[in-house]
Each structure stands twice: as structure tokens, then as C-alpha cells.
Amino acid sequence: MTVPREIAQPTGDKTAAQFSVSPSTFQSPISSSSFMASALAHRSAPKQLKPFNTEDVKILLLENVNQTGQDILRAQGYQVEFLKTSLPEDQLIEKIKDVHVIGIRSKTKLTANVLREAKNLLVIGCFCIGTNQVDLDYAAQHGIAVFNSPFANSRSVAELVIAEIITLARQLGDRSNEMHRGTWNKVSAKCWEIRGKTLGIVGYGHIGSQLSVLAEAMGMTVIYYDVVTLMAIGTARQVPTLEDLLAEADFVTLHVPETPETKNMISNDQFEKMKTGSYLINASRGTVVDIPALIKASRSGKIAGAALDVFPNEPAANGDYFTNDLNQWGEDLRGLNNIILTPHIGGSTEEAQRAIGVEVADALVRYINQGVTTGSVNVPEVTMRSLTLDEPNHARVIYIHRNVPGVLRKVNEILAEHNVDKQISDSKGDLAYLMADVSDVKQDDIKNIRDSLDSLSSRILTRILY
Ligand SMILES: NC(=O)c1ccc[n+]([C@@H]2O[C@H](COP(=O)([O-])OP(=O)(O)OC[C@H]3O[C@@H](n4cnc5c(N)ncnc54)[C@H](O)[C@@H]3O)[C@@H](O)[C@H]2O)c1
């Protein structure tokens, strides 16, 4: 028997028909965790949805997306095409025409030019941290949600910083470089244990708070400064100002986002306020530290060392690019003692890649199967409890629309003939996302609801899952 496809009508310029997919079960993507699995076992059984056409979902994964992500998507029954590399624009345009989902990392540029050809595309998964390789506005305006994984590598960064604290305190970088040059230089002067020293964390978010735990475990005293008042972990202590932190810390480590407020947050004045012989670590963003000021503070002996993982200008590819052509002070920096320079590897571990694979693939499954947008970077974040077996004739209506007055009234007029069990709506700029579960609906009802929603001028995309 051929199972009918449920069609989600395309946006204005999308000509090819799109289908809205329904999974065989509303399997929770986080049910892989045993805790969640046992918690879910006590709830109502998930609903067997029809039509069951997850095999029709076409996914293109580029840039060697981690195996963990591939496995999650394949386990859903989706058709997954996997490529190790990115694609040049002409080939990308050819491939993207067909797919409902694309998974990329940082090299694939999803410009408006490319996305215009993506007639069936529902969602983009960026299996990385950043999303500036995607035209987020264009995607949003065409009902294409974008997901990424901003925090999966927090632990990796925190561990790198721990390594750097010890490396700086013991001048390991310099000793190792000397040995590589054939020089034996055994010194203990100005080499320290880290036990009992004070670590000052600027920005107590995902990375800063992980680091706090690790540093305390090694006998450090932890203080932190954040624009938000945050509960301390362990015996760490929040200080009221950056100046307080700089005056007290033996090691200052930066974990703030790149914003106008954090640009050159550490410059001449701040180096002045730091303890003589203290250390600076920056694995946040390159703009946060004024590098010429750091060079000055290092030459004067104000700071005893620094570790930099991020830079104002970073090369797009690996190679011999870390020169004055990239940043005018590049060679001065390279000539300093006890300065650790790493090529933005804070989050670059196998574990982080695996975690990113899981997080983004889970988000894609949730979006495809349930319409949940939690974690999306370009559409309003909306979540709603799953349908269950106790609700056999229910359908989930998803309506992405322009955020103009009167839409909700019109949508509710369309849904008014049915019992709306639950409904949620949120907006972000001129885009809005509505989800409603309606009960006691038949095939004809579903078609009518869809046709009526599609006829509204506010419509960007309609999907109905049932
Ligand atoms: N080196 C790497 O490879 C790597 C990897 C991941 C993240 N990062 C960077 O690390 C930084 C921190 O990441 P996260 O995941 O911990 O972010 P997060 O959003 O979880 O935490 C940032 C914290 O900084 C605080 N903050 C914001 N502005 C501030 C200001 N002006 N002064 C003081 N505190 C301020 C916020 O309140 C928040 O608590 C980001 O810049 C991120 O881009 C680097």
C-alpha cells in the first residue's frame, strides 16, 4: 500500500512540493540517556504517527560531520548522504535542490544565492559553534530553521586553560623550545606550584564555571567577575568589579563573549592593575585583549607570561600565516618569553566533535519530527509536549509566518472547528512560529486546515505532523 505523503506547502518562491514528516514514534532524541529513558517509561507511550515516511527525509551531510551525528540521523530512518568535504558553490546548488536537511561545518557557505535553490529545505544543522557561514536572515524569512552547538566544547576549553596555568607557572613552553634547540637550561627561579594561588575568571558562563571546579580541585582559590550575579560553584567567590579581580588574581583568564563591551577589555589600564608577575590567559575571542598593551606588559615584566588561543585576525586555513601580514604585531609577540601561542584549538578535541554531533543531530530530529525549535539561532524558540498514544487522532499544526497584526485571530478561526489541546506561539523580529495540537481530526480535516493556512497572506511555511 502506498502511504500518502503529507505535503507542507512551499514558501512563495519554493515551487517543489515539500512534505512534512512524521516519525513512527515521537521518540525523544535525548532518550539515549538512561536517566531520560527511565523517566520517559513512566509517561504515556508515544503515538504511532502516520504517514510513517521518515525514509523520505533526505539529508546531505558535508565536511565529515562526526559519526555520532550520522548515527542518530540514520537511526531515524532518514536517507543520509555523507561527504567528507565541502562542495564548490555550483555542486552545492545542484545537491541542495533535493534535500530537506543539510548538515555542514564552518567551510560550507550557505548564502542566499545557494539557499534560493533549496526548494525543499526545512532545516540546517551547523555541526560547529559559529553560524556566520549561513545567511541566517534569508533562511528565517524562508522558514528554514538553523541549529548549532555553542557549548559542546566547554570542557575541552576548560581543560586547555588548566594545562596553560601549569605551563605558564613552570615556563614549560620556553624550556621545551630550548630543549628542541639543543639547550639544557634547568631553572627553578620564578617557577611556581599552582596550589594556593588565586585564579581570576572573567565571565563565569559555561567555560568559566567548569574551569572553576577543575582549578579548585587542584588547590587554587577561585574568584570571578561577571556582569550577571551568578551562584558560585564550590568555594569560588564573585567579586564586584573587574578591577577587584585584577588586583587579587595570580592568573587572570578570560571567558567572555565578543561584544562591544568586551573589545579591548584588557588593555594598558587593566595590565597596570594586575599584580606584578601575574599571568593572563585568553581563550575567548581575539578582540578581548589589546595585544600591543600585552606586549608592553610582558616586556616590562608586569606580567610573567600569557597564553593566547585566539587573535583579532585568524587565518582561514592551516599554514605559515601567523606573521605581521596577518596581525602587525605578530612577530613581536612571537619573540617574547613565556608566551604560549595556540591556533584557536581550545575546543578542538575528539570528545567535543562527538558531543557536537549528538547535540546538533538531536536538535534536527526534534525539529523534523516534532517541530520543536529549542536552540535555533534564527527562528523563535518554541517547544511543546509530545503527542502520545492516548491521542490517536491528533495532529500537530506548525505555522511559520510573518509577524503582522491579526494573524493569530485568523489562524484560530481556522482551527476553531477543532479542539485545540495546546497551542504556543512566539516571535523574533518579523518572524513568528506557531504550534498547535488539535484533536479528533480526520485526513480531510488535515487537508482543509493546511489549505486554509496556506491561503493566508502571512504564511511562510505550513507543516502538519500527525
Ligand atoms: N578557544 C576556543 O576554541 C573557544 C571554544 C568555545 C568558546 N570560546 C569562547 O569562549 C567564550 C566564553 O564561552 P562560554 O561558552 O563560556 O560563554 P557563556 O555565554 O556561557 O559565558 C559567558 C559569560 O560571560 C559573561 N559576560 C558577558 N559580558 C561580560 C562582560 N562585559 N564582563 C564580564 N562578564 C561578561 C556572561 O554573563 C556569561 O556568564 C566565548 O567568547 C566563546 O566564543 C572559545
Contacts of residue 147, defined as CB under 8 A and 6 or more positions apart, other chains included, come to 123, 124, 125, 126, 360, 363, 364, 367, 375, 376, 377
Q: Whose CA is nearest to atom 25 of ligand 1?
A: 203
Active site residue 100: no
**From ligand 1's centre to the CA of 80, what distance in Å?**
34
pLDDT of residue 49: 44
Strands 18-19 and 7-8: antiparallel
pTM attached to this predicted model: 0.83
Average pLDDT, the chain: 89
Pocket residues: Cβ below 6 A from ligand 1: 129, 151, 153-154, 157, 202-208, 225-228, 255-259, 261-262, 283-285, 309-310, 344, 346-347
pLDDT of residue 54: 72
Q: Are 310 and 281 in contact (CB under 8 A)?
A: no
Share of the chain above pLDDT 70, in %: 89
**From ligand 1's centre to the CA of 286, what distance in Å?**
12
Span 282-317, pLDDT tens digits: 999 999 999 999 999 999 999 999 999 999 999 978
> Length of the chain, please?
466
pLDDT of residue 26: 29
User: Domains (ranges, CATH) in the chain?
Assistant: 50-153+349-385 (3.40.50.720), 154-341 (3.40.50.720)
109: number of Cβ within 10 Å: 15
- Cα–Cα distance for residue pair 378/300, rounded to 1 Å: 47
**From ligand 1's centre to the CA of 151, what distance in Å?**
10
Span 323-347, pLDDT tens digits: 999 999 999 999 999 999 999 999 9
Cα 92 to chain center, whole Å?
Answer: 23
Q: What is the mean pLDDT of residues 244-257?
A: 98
Residue 443 pLDDT level (bands cut at 50, 70, 90): confident
- pLDDT(93) > 80: yes
- Give the torsion sign (CA, 20, 22, 28, 30): negative
Q: Whose CA is nearest to atom 30 of ligand 1?
A: 227
Q: What is the mean pLDDT of residues 347-376?
A: 96
Write out the three cell numbers for 345.
Answer: 584549538
Q: Which residue has the higher pLDDT, 109 or 19?
A: 109
Residue 9 pLDDT level (bands cut at 50, 70, 90): very low
Q: Are 387 and 26 in contact (CB under 8 A)?
A: yes
Q: What is the mean pLDDT of residues 346-364?
A: 96
> C-alpha angle 446/448/449, rounded to 5°?
65
- Cα–Cα distance for residue pair 25/387, rounded to 1 Å: 9
- pLDDT(50) > 70: no
* Active-site residue (options: 206, 344, 354, 402): 344
Q: Are 249 and 200 in contact (CB under 8 A)?
A: yes
pLDDT of residue 20: 41
Q: Whose CA is nearest to atom 21 of ligand 1?
A: 205
Write out the three cell numbers for 381.
Answer: 524558540
Query: Ligand 1: which atom is nearest the Cα of residue 283?
Result: 1
* Active-site residue (options: 170, 285, 418, 450): 285
**From ligand 1's centre to the CA of 393, what distance in Å?**
46
Residue 45 pLDDT level (bands cut at 50, 70, 90): low
- Cα–Cα distance for residue pair 264/284, rounded to 1 Å: 12
Active site residue 394: no
Q: What is the mean pLDDT of residues 203-220?
A: 98
- pLDDT(53) > 80: no
- pLDDT(391) > 70: yes
Residue 44 pLDDT level (bands cut at 50, 70, 90): low
- Cα–Cα distance for residue pair 34/290, rounded to 1 Å: 47
pLDDT of residue 390: 76
Q: Whose CA is nearest to atom 41 of ligand 1?
A: 257
Q: Whose CA is nearest to atom 36 of ligand 1?
A: 203
pLDDT of residue 316: 79
- pLDDT(41) > 90: no
Residue to probe by mutation, ligand 1, list 151, 157, 342, most atoms within 8 Å of CB:
157
Residue 426 backbone phi and psi in degrees, to 5: -150, 160
- pLDDT(182) > 90: yes
pLDDT of residue 189: 97
Active site residue 417: no
- Cα–Cα distance for residue pair 138/131, rounded to 1 Å: 13
**From ligand 1's centre to the CA of 338, what distance in Å?**
25
Q: Are 381 and 374 in contact (CB under 8 A)?
A: yes
Query: Ligand 1: which atom is nearest the Cα of residue 228?
Result: 37
Span 123-181, pLDDT tens digits: 999 999 989 999 999 999 999 999 999 999 999 999 999 999 999 999 999 999 999 99
pLDDT of residue 3: 27
Span 449-465, pLDDT tens digits: 999 999 999 999 999 98
**From ligand 1's centre to the CA of 208, what distance in Å?**
8
In the block, residue with C-alpha cell 599584580? 275
Q: What is the mean pLDDT of residues 105-128?
A: 96
Closest by Cα among 316, 257, 362, 347 to 109: 316
